[in-house]
Chain A
Amino acid sequence: MSEPRFAVGDRVRTRTVDPPHHTRLPRYARGQVGEVVEVQGRWPLADDRAQGFPDARVEPVYTIRFSATDLWGPPGGHWVQVELWESYLEVVP
C-alpha cells in the first residue's frame, strides 16, 4: 500500500469533475484550493462501492479546510471542512 500523497499543511486543489456516478465531492467544493488539516486513514472509495465494484480502491481520506470566501465570495468569514478521498485531490503547482 502506498503512503498518503498529502500531509497536514499541504495546499491541495479538488478536481473539477462532474462524474456520472455517485461521488462524495460536493459540487460547492469542486475545483477549489484548500488546506489539509488532517490525514484520516484509509477507506474504500465511495464511488467504487456505489457502483458495486468488488475491489473498491482503498485510499487515504483527508480533512480539507476551505475558506468560505474562496468558495462563494464575500462576505464569507467562516471555514468549511470537507472530508475527501485522495483521488478527489490534486497537487497545487
Chain B
Amino acid sequence: MSGHHSSSEIAVRVRRLEERLIGAGLTSDDQLDTIIGRVSSGSPANGARAVARAWVDPAFRERLLADGNEALEELGFSMSRGPQPQRFTVVENTPSRHNVLVCTLCSCYPISLLGPSPSWYKSEAYRARVVREPRAVLAEFGLELPADSEIVVHDTSAESRHMVLPMRPEGTAGLGEAELAALVTREGLIGTAAV
C-alpha cells in the first residue's frame, strides 16, 4: 500500500496539510466530510442500472449509445458534478467485438457515476499491459474471448469517460430490470469480465 512511509506517518502529514488548508480558509472539515460522503454515493450499481435499462428497452439503449450524458439524466444521474465537464461515452460489446477500458496516463474513470475505481485499474501493470496484450490480461481475469472476436482497447486520454455496455447473458429473458442490474459487475462495466 505505501512506499517508504508508515501509514501513521502519512496520516500525520495529511492532517497537517488539512489544518494548513483549513487555516488558509480554502476548505473546512464540513466540506471535506461532505465530499467524502458524496464519493461513497457513486457506485457500480448506478452503471448497472443503465445497463439493465438498455437491455430491456432498445430505444433507451440507442439513446445511451448516442449520448451517454443525456441518457444518464433520464435515470437521475449526472456526470456534471465533478471539477471539469466530462463526456460520458458508452461502448457496446457484441458477439464480434469486445471493449475494454483503461487510462494509461493516469487512471481516469467515471467516478461521479461509478464511485472510485478499483486499485487494479490504477496499477502500472494494468495500464501498461492491457493496451498491448489485452487477451492475456483478460485471461488473467478469467475472460476468454473467441479467437475471431475483435478487441478494442479504449485509452481515456482526454475528457471523455467511458463505460462498457456488456452483452446480456443467455437465459435471462424472464428477469426484471432490478434482477438484471444485480448481474452486472464493475469488471463488466470496465470490460475485464463478460458481466
Contacts and interface: CB of A to CB of B under 8 A. Distances in A.
Interface of A: 24-26, 28-29, 40-41, 43, 46, 61, 63, 65, 68, 71-72, 77-85
Contacts, number: 59
A24 B105 contact: yes
Interface string B128-158: 0001101100000000000000111111111
A26 B104 contact: yes
Nearest to A49: B84
B62 to A, nearest CB: 17
Given A68-B132, A78-B152, A79-B152, A43 B159 contact: yes
Interface SS of A by simple majority: strand
Interface residues of B, number: 18
A80 B131 contact: yes
Given A63-B160, A78-B153, A79-B152, 8 more contacts: A28-B131, A28-B132, A29-B155, A40-B87, A43-B159, A46-B158, A83-B156, A85-B158
A83 B160 contact: yes
Interface in B71-106: 87, 104-105
A61 B89 CA distance: 14
B88 to A, nearest CB: 12
